[in-house]
Structure 1
């Protein structure tokens, strides 16, 4: 009962102020102020205000709000964890060996990049074999 009277007085004061604002020919501001002024009466008439007041002083209701907040945090963190796994590409082993020789207009490397140790371990003569392969590719493409 007391909350209904307080809400009615608050709304009446807000509507009075909105009339003063309307006299200054600021009609849009007056309409917004009148709309906000009617909210307390609407809340009191629908009974939502009583629900809000009862929830404010009820520790079990606040525990429920905490549980709901925790559920939202779990949901959002699961989405972030799911997005983090898909967004990172797998590391390619050729990328760690060094730069690769790419033919003109090719999307993939023509020759895999190997260092001197890789060429010698494969049984080649070292850097001379690497350059002969590169020369052959360049001649093939007319360079």
Structure 2
């Protein structure tokens, strides 16, 4: 019963503030206040206050066990050790210190390296003057694309 009284009192107070905001022609602020004012009554009418009380109680019990129960600390240590081992193996794997098959030579186990940049085709020797009908704008390699676009009217 006390929960209902507090919920509806908070809702009434919020609606009053929303009314004052609307009276001062601050309708956006009034709408926000009204929306927030409806929350306590909605929580009470849907029965979510007992759920919140249960969640709070369970969280408090867990926190108490976290501080005083050695089993919980053992679990935390095991989780930390697990995370440390995963991070360490990942770091060592990136450095290449741990091989999957130690009897193979390191060179055979490593993947062949690919060049970072694709090889460019050899350039034609410069003749000193541009070919007839072509512009010397540095886009000579794209002349066939330029011609296709011109044919399509682009």
TM-score computed with the length of structure 1 as normaliser: 0.46
TM-score computed with the length of structure 2 as normaliser: 0.43
Which structure features the higher share of helix residues? 1
